[in-house]
Chains A and B, each alone.
Chain A
Amino acid sequence: MANQLATREAYGLALKDLGGRNKNVVVLDADLSKSTKTNVFAKAFPDRFFNVGIAEQNLMGVAAGLAAAGKIPFVSTFAMFATGRAFEQIRNSICYPKLNVKIAATHAGLTVGEDGASHQSVEDIAIMRALPNMTVIVPADATETRQAIDFAAEHKGPVYIRLGRAAVPNVFGEAYEFGIGKAVPLIDGTDVTIIACGVMVAPARHAAEHLVAEGISARVLNMASIKPVDTGAIIAAARETGAVVTCEEHTVIGGLGSAVAEVLAEYAPAPLERVGVMDTFGESGTPDALLKKYNLTEEAIVAAAKKAVSRK
């Protein structure tokens, strides 16, 4: 496997494998199959691929009907349109009846890039996390994406999987095992815990390495499972390291940072700093330039960690 692969690319490959193993898997897209990579499945299994056209509300509704009749539909479009345009269809036609629909939404976050704010979904985790019966997963790399897709196919009920457009470095080896509701420790540490998801996992690791040079021992956790979140790992982080930093390519309102804040406030209060989009829309630009401008960087994580430690 290439060292750099977008999670959407990994999704396409995972879907194709899954389709070969499970004949109940069907895939739907809303005229973005070349971008979401569902076209990989479509080529392999044309009879089980359905393009609904530019109609996201119907996309979710048709998937609900397929699930009600025993199919395992994976639906894909950009995160913005899946969770925004079709929110109420996801709520009322999928989550309320707890139907077995998997929403693999691509092009999430600022790193969709040049298309700008209209296409940069930085609220989708918050929106999906608020829905009863919904499971929310934000994979960090290709390996985790493939395992998250396999998990989703086995899990009974709605799952939201957040994928990115841009290539990301591989974080996990082939021995990695994804577990729902389980944080994955990446680096051990004693002074502060950095909890990251998605494209922010790689810079979080680099930040921890940088902090060592400054005499700060940082624990790093990958929290792909946003809902259910690993409450035990968060409590342990607070008690054992005394300070926490969250990192996400998402608004700090309602996403990973909020999920961690809720656990800390309820069980183990500790200083918390949240790295994420600070309640603002994005803009057009390259993914790297956007991450830099909106402070989703290794440097920002280092600064946040120092601040969290200073607040102990």
Chain B
Amino acid sequence: MSQTLTPEQLSQLAGRAKSIRRNIISMVTEAKSGHPGGSLSAADILSVLYFAEMNVDPAKPQDPDRDRFVLSKGHAAPVLYATLAEKGYLPVEELFTLRKINSRLQGHPDMKGIPGVDMSTGSLGQGLSAASGMALAARLDARNYRVYALLGDGELEEGQVWEAAMFAAHYKLDNLTAFVDFNGLQIDGPVDQVMSPLPIPEKWQAFGWHVLVIDGHDYNAVYDAIQEAKTVKGKPTMIVAKTVKGKGVCQMENVVDWHGKAPSREECEKFLADLEGIEEVK
């Protein structure tokens, strides 16, 4: 049975994702540093999670039954902050305090400061372990929440990822769904040239996960993959989401330099104009 999104939902998600992207570009520009490329690539996945799927409520950020999200690729903090602001956890104006002194919005997510951040991350490779611990806690407490994690493709080079991959499969954590934001680029270049983690789906399959490969910018595909993961019993699910680094801003797309560089004010204006040109509905 297809659970595919309605045209109204698709239109709403496109609007949310565009707003999130606008804020990513603006906040990184204001901060004068940060990671726009890998934030833009993950914007559609977070839009679907937060606006079509996850049981979360900004009025009850510590609800023990809420679904959890762990941004394992913590340098993509702007997409998480922008999504949380879009959802109502933070005032949108606060996004412009990113990376500034006395701000709650640290360069990488700090769970102590911000309601809606379920785990502090930033040092690559650590998020999936924490997400696994949360999924295990749900089982121990007989709670029905689900745990989502988002990893980078370059991040798969960290050994701890595979320790966690073994653990989640061994303990049959079927309430855990992870994504790889497979945009193909890391700081020093294409992932398959720096230190290839390829082939990605086959590795997760070999580690005992249910694996799906999708277009990470196709809302229906992301949504359907999440629904399929919820039906899988006895194993965690990895959704390998093919994405474009810098997605939505043509000058940023697939350009490795935009991994960790802030736009100038002039570039920011141009990029925001670019974003207006993208299709509303996919």
Which A residues lie at the B interface, using CB under 8 A? 26, 47-48, 50, 52-53, 55, 57-58, 60-71, 73, 88-89, 92-93, 96-98
Q: List 7 A-B contacts (CB under 8 A).
A: A53-B167, A58-B132, A58-B166, A58-B167, A65-B135, A93-B123, A93-B129
A55 to B123, CA, bound (A): 17
Number of A-B contacts (CB under 8 A): 111
- Supposing A65-B131, A68-B118, A92-B123 touch, asked if A57 and B163 sit within 8 A by C-beta, the answer is yes
- Contact among A71, A73, A89 with B160 in the assembled complex (CB-CB below 8 Å): A89
Does the CB pair B171–A50 fall under 8 Å?
yes
CB distance from A54 to the nearest CB of B (A): 9
* Among listed B136-144, B188-196, B198-206, B242-250, interface-contacting one: B136-144
CB distance from B65 to the nearest CB of A (A): 11
Chain A at the B interface: mostly helix, strand, loop or mixed? helix
Does the CB pair A55–B126 fall under 8 Å?
no
Contacts of B132 in A (CB 8 A): 58, 61-62, 65
Contacts of B127 in A (CB 8 A): 61
Does the CB pair B122–A68 fall under 8 Å?
no
Contacts of B131 in A (CB 8 A): 65
- Supposing A55-B167, A57-B160 touch, asked if A97 and B134 sit within 8 A by C-beta, the answer is no
Does the CB pair B167–A65 fall under 8 Å?
no
Does the CB pair A58–B112 fall under 8 Å?
no
Does the CB pair B140–A26 fall under 8 Å?
yes
- Contact among B64, B118, B129, B141 with A58 in the assembled complex (CB-CB below 8 Å): B129
Assuming A61-B129, A69-B137, A93-B119, what are 9 further A-B pairs, CB within 8 angstroms? A53-B166, A57-B129, A57-B159, A62-B164, A62-B167, A65-B70, A65-B137, A89-B160, A97-B111
CB distance from A91 to the nearest CB of B (A): 8
Which among A63, A89, A93 has the greatest number of chain B C-beta atoms within 10 A? A93
A47 to B164, CA, bound (A): 20
- Contact among A48, A53, A62 with B140 in the assembled complex (CB-CB below 8 Å): A48
Which B residues lie at the A interface, using CB under 8 A? 64, 68, 70, 110-112, 118-123, 125-138, 140-141, 159-160, 163-164, 166-167, 170-171
CB distance from B161 to the nearest CB of A (A): 9
Contacts of A73 in B (CB 8 A): 133
CB distance from A61 to the nearest CB of B (A): 2
Contacts of A64 in B (CB 8 A): 119, 126, 129-130, 133
- Contact among B68, B123, B129 with A62 in the assembled complex (CB-CB below 8 Å): B129
Contacts of A50 in B (CB 8 A): 136, 171
Contacts of A61 in B (CB 8 A): 126-130, 132-133, 160, 164
- Supposing A89-B126, A97-B120 touch, asked if A71 and B112 sit within 8 A by C-beta, the answer is no
Contacts of A93 in B (CB 8 A): 119-120, 123, 126, 129-130
- Contact among A63, A65, A88 with B123 in the assembled complex (CB-CB below 8 Å): A88
Does the CB pair B112–A98 fall under 8 Å?
yes
A98 to B138, CA, bound (A): 21
